[in-house]
Every structure is written in structure tokens, then in C-alpha cells.
């Protein structure tokens, strides 16, 4: 089984670590230091929060986008229910993030998602789909 590691550039590793911990991620101390926090959702999905200096090592001469103004990626993460999606988004908002809804014309009892932004503007899309 594969694992997914999403790397987000952040301006304040400690603040971002706290934000993601409140969303339900667990910090893996073994792969964390002052420059990066390894935040674990489950055995297969981790978010790596890297300060800009460390993140730049992986992108050569490219610039780091201002994710509050420019979208580079939207990461979808499955949830157990529409209520779990709503709770995730509300928790983000209560802790310095934001969220919004994109009307898809799909009934909530079939699929529900929200667009969540962390304090740096990095995007997560918690989504629930009725797989029955």
C-alpha cells in the first residue's frame, strides 16, 4: 500500500503545527524539527509542514507561491460523513483558517465537500461520498 506525503510551505511551523493538530492530525516527532513538522492523518496520508527556507531546497530556482492569492494544488481527503466534513471545516475556521462551499448540484446525501484553507492559504478539501 502506498503512502501520500503532501509538502506545504508555511511561514510559521509552530503555528501551522498547532492548526493541523486541532484538525485531528498527530505530530510525528521523529520526522519533525524546527524547520518542519510531520503531521499524520493516518497510516497512508501525512502532511509535511516546511518553513520556506527548507521548502526551497526541493524546488530549485522556482518561487514559492502565495497560496492566499494563487492556487497550486487542492488536496482532497476523505471523511466518514458530511457532518465530519463540516466539523473539520469549522475547526479550521476556529483556529485561523477559512472555508467555503462550491455548489456542485449533487445532493448532500450522495456527496459533500468544503474547501478549507490553512493560515498560509494551502488548500484541503474534506469530502464525503456515499459509496453504497
Count other C-beta atoms under 10 Å from residue 95's C-beta. 16
Calpha distance 2→22 (Å, rounded)? 26
N-term to C-term CA, the chain:
23
How is 52-96 classified by DSSP, letter by letter?
Answer: HHHHHTTTTTPPPP-TTT----EEEEE-SSHHHHHHHHHHHHHTT
- Domains delineated in the chain: 1-60 (3.10.180.10), 71-132 (3.10.180.10)
23-82 pLDDT per residue, tens:
999 999 999 999 999 999 999 999 999 999 999 999 999 999 999 999 989 999 999 999
Q: pTM for this one?
A: 0.90
Cβ atoms of 24 and 2 within 8 Å: the answer is no
Amino acid at each position: 500500500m502506498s503512502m501520500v506525503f503532501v509538502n506545504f510551505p508555511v511561514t510559521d511551523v509552530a503555528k501551522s503545527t498547532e492548526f493541523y493538530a486541532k484538525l485531528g492530525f498527530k505530530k510525528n516527532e521523529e520526522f519533525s524539527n524546527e524547520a518542519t513538522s510531520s503531521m499524520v492523518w493516518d497510516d497512508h496520508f501525512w502532511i509535511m509542514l516546511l518553513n520556506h527556507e527548507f521548502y526551497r531546497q526541493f524546488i530549485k530556482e522556482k518561487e514559492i507561491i502565495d497560496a492566499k492569492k494563487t492556487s497550486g494544488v487542492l488536496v482532497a481527503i476523505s471523511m466518514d460523513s458530511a457532518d465530519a466534513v463540516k466539523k473539520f471545516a469549522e475547526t479550521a475556521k476556529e483556529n485561523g483558517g477559512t472555508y467555503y462551499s462550491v455548489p456542485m448540484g449533487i445532493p448532500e446525501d450522495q456527496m459533500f465537500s468544503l474547501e478549507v484553507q490553512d493560515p498560509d492559504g494551502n488548500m484541503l478539501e474534506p469530502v464525503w461520498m456515499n459509496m453504497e
